[in-house]
Structures are given as C-alpha cells and as structure tokens.
C-alpha cells in the first residue's frame, strides 16, 4: 500500500498539521509520498524527517503560492499518475479545501476531520470523524478505490522518523482558469484588539435587525474597550463581515465577558462562545438557549437595553 500526503506550507514554512498527516500516513504504510506544491528545499527536508520515502515537487507557475484549485488539480493529476491507495491531508482550512478540489477532480468521495483509521480490511476502511465543531463523533466506512481523507488537526502527534531524502518532480498541466484564486499579495495587519484576544465581546444576532442596528453595539464595545462579534444569521444577511462571526464556522472567543444580544444560542454559535468566562444574554425570549446557558440575562428589547447600559456607563464615568 502507498499513501500520498498533501503537504501544506507557506513559502517554505511547513504547517505542523502536515507533520501530523505524515505521522498518520506512517501508521498505514511504509511507502509515504509527500506532495509539495511549488517544491521547496526546507519543506522536502522536513518531510524526510517525518518519514516521507519520496518527496514530489509539483512544479508549475500557478503553484508558487497558495492557489486551492490549482493545488487540488495538480495533486489529482499526481494521484492519477501514481495511483496511491490513499491520499491524506491535515484537516485545516487549507487541507480540507485542497482535498475537496482533489475529490471533485477525481470524482471520488472524501472524508474530512478523521480521528481514527482502521485499514485492516483493505477494500473498506472504518473511520471515526469529528463533526459539528467537536460535538459529534461519526463512524464512517469508506470503500472508494482511492481513499481520500483529512485527519483532524491535533488528532495525531507529530512523531519524527528520519529517512533518506529522495526527491522527484512532477509537472501538472493546468488550465488558466485554475489560477483564478491565488495569493498575490500579503498585508500585515496592525496588531490590536481582535475577536480572539478581546477581553470584552459585544455580539449581535438576527435580533439586531439591520446593519445600522449595530451602531449601539459598536458604541457599547468602544466604551468597554471591546469589539463587536456576530452570529452567522448576521453574516448570511450581509450585515457584517465573516471576520466578525463567532462560532463553529467563525472565530472561537474567550473574553472575560461576552454580551450576546439578540442571539438564540444555536449549538454552532455556542461552541465558539462557550469558553467565555462570563456570558450576559440580552434577549426578548427567556427560553432562548443563550439565555438558559448564560451566567446573567436581561429579558428585554436589545434596542432599549444596550443604549441604557451605555448611558449608565457614561453617567458613572461622569
């Protein structure tokens, strides 16, 4: 059996998740092929240090920096050429994204975020994967001729296993349209308070009602030295950017206090908010999940409650 591992790296800095994926691959086979889009000396050395018996540099102008469709198609062509039994990536955003493109290109199913692999039956593998932000474990069987899967990040320890470095090159044929999404420029943001680091987060949900409805939340966040977050209902409505979203498919926060305003507390939101040290829910529905789970709750209209809190803060500060 041979296993091909998609290596995630950023201009030569290999992602720790790829070292986990290499370690996972070694539990299945001693024939481990590392696919490195763009090719890179430091990455090849790291792969050999984690047991890759062959490092394939995928070489094409589209592959110099991250380009999900191009990376996926390039790996798919390598899979067709080499016919490995399995293709593994780490279940990071990029790992899942690239493998999804491989899956579409090969028309073969993929299983994401796997915790456990039982390959004792060659044709049908038994897998356990994590779902819904960690709140559900699912047992899956995979009988595709080529097994495509991502291993959940941190599910496998990174265990070094030095082998001699052996490098080859593969040049895929990539159409111009595959270069439609690629990194062209990088901007370093000024350090400041972010959703992840904020000690106070004022979150707004569908109950806020409109983009303009967030102005009082912005004001309260500013008075408290915090930032504004939101639910997915808000980003789905286009009221705020996805960068503000708290939850399973957004940011996980851990402030001293989270003020959840007009947010029902669906499980996908809760998994992103539950590490908050204190939660104050403001909601018209006393039975809302967020209210029943919160440390404190105000049952009322957020459009009246939030300006009243800001007013009281200003009054006390003189």
The distance of closest approach from Cβ of residue 273 to ligand FAD in the complex, given in angstroms and rounded to an integer, is 8
Q: Where are the beta strands (DSSP E) in 26-180?
A: 31-37, 54-58, 86-90, 110-118, 125-131, 136-142, 147-151, 167-170
Q: Kindly tell me which residue out of 77, 248, 276, 310 binds ligand FAD, with binding defined by CB under 6 A.
A: 248
The distance of closest approach from Cβ of residue 187 to ligand FAD in the complex, given in angstroms and rounded to an integer, is 25
The distance of closest approach from Cβ of residue 63 to ligand FAD in the complex, given in angstroms and rounded to an integer, is 30
The distance of closest approach from Cβ of residue 80 to ligand FAD in the complex, given in angstroms and rounded to an integer, is 32
Which is closer to ligand FAD, CB of 161 or CB of 284? 284
Count CB neighbours of 311 within 10 A. 10
Considering only residues 256-315, where is the footprint of ligand FAD by CB under 6 A? Answer: 262-264, 266, 268-269, 272, 282-285, 288, 301-303
Integer-rounded Cα Rg, in Å, for the chain is: 23
Is residue 113 at the binding interface for ligand FAD, with CB under 6 A as the rule? no
Q: Which helix (H) or strand (E) holds 258?
A: strand 257-261
* Residue keyed to tokens 């009602």: 209
Total site size for ligand FAD, rule CB under 6 A: 28
Which is closer to ligand FAD, CB of 49 or CB of 133? 133
Q: How far apart are CA 159 and CA 113, in angstroms?
A: 19
For the packed helices 93-106 and 68-82, what is the interaxial angle rounded to 10 degrees?
50
Per-residue CA distances from 291 to 186, 195, 205, 260 (Å): 41, 22, 13, 9
Q: How far apart are CA 19 and CA 5, in angstroms?
A: 10
- Name the one range near ligand FAD by CB under 6 A: 53-61, 140-148, 151-159, 240-248: 240-248
Is residue 233 at the binding interface for ligand FAD, with CB under 6 A as the rule? yes
Q: Kindly tell me which residue out of 38, 39, 172, 207 binds ligand FAD, with binding defined by CB under 6 A.
A: 207
Non-local (6+) Cβ contacts of 91 within 8 A are 17, 112, 113, 114, 150, 151, 152, 153, 155
Q: Kindly tell me which residue out of 23, 40, 110, 245 binds ligand FAD, with binding defined by CB under 6 A.
A: 245
The distance of closest approach from Cβ of residue 85 to ligand FAD in the complex, given in angstroms and rounded to an integer, is 30
**Nearest-CA neighbor of 135 among 159, 113, 163, 104?**
113
The distance of closest approach from Cβ of residue 213 to ligand FAD in the complex, given in angstroms and rounded to an integer, is 9
Considering only residues 212-231, where is the footprint of ligand FAD by CB under 6 A? Answer: 231
Q: Which helix (H) or strand (E) holds 200?
A: strand 200-204
The distance of closest approach from Cβ of residue 219 to ligand FAD in the complex, given in angstroms and rounded to an integer, is 16
Which is closer to ligand FAD, CB of 106 or CB of 271? 271
Q: Kindly tell me which residue out of 2, 29, 237, 249 binds ligand FAD, with binding defined by CB under 6 A.
A: 249
Chain residues binding ligand FAD by CB under 6 A are 205-207, 231-234, 245-250, 262-264, 266, 268-269, 272, 282-285, 288, 301-303
């Amino acid at each position: 059996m041979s296993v091909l591992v998609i290596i995630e790296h950023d201009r030569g800095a290999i992602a720790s998740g790829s070292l986990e994926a290499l370690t996972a691959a070694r539990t299945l086979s001693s024939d481990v092929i590392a696919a490195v889009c763009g090719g890179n000396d430091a990455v090849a050395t790291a792969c050999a240090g984690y047991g890759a018996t062959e490092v394939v540099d995928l070489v094409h102008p589209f592959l110099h920096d991250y380009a999900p469709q191009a990376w996926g198609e390039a790996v798919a062509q390598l899979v067709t050429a080499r016919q490995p039994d399995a293709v593994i990536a780490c279940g990071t955003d990029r790992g899942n994204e690239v493998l999804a493109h491989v899956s579409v290109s090969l028309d073969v199913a993929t299983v994401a975020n796997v915790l456990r692999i039982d390959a004792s039956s060659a044709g049908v593998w038994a897998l356990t994967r994590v779902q819904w932000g960690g709140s559900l474990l699912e047992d899956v069987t995979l009988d595709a001729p080529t097994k495509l899967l991502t291993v959940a990040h941190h599910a496998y320890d990174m265990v070094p296993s030095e082998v001699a470095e052996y490098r080859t090159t593969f040049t895929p044929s990539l159409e111009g349209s595959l270069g439609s999404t690629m990194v062209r420029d990088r901007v370093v943001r000024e350090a400041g308070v972010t959703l992840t680091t904020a000690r106070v987060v004022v979150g707004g949900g569908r109950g806020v009602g409109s983009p303009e409805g967030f102005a009082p939340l912005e004001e309260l966040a500013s008075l408290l030295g915090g930032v504004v977050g939101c639910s997915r209902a808000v980003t789905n409505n286009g009221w705020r950017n996805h960068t503000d979203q708290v939850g399973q498919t957004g940011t996980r926060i851990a402030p001293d206090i989270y003020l959840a305003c007009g947010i029902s507390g669906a499980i996908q939101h809760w998994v992103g908010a539950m590490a908050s040290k204190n939660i104050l829910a403001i909601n018209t529905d006393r039975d809302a999940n967020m209210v029943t789970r919160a440390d404190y709750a105000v049952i009322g209209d957020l459009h009246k409650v939030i300006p009243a809190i800001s007013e009281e803060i200003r009054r006390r500060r003189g």
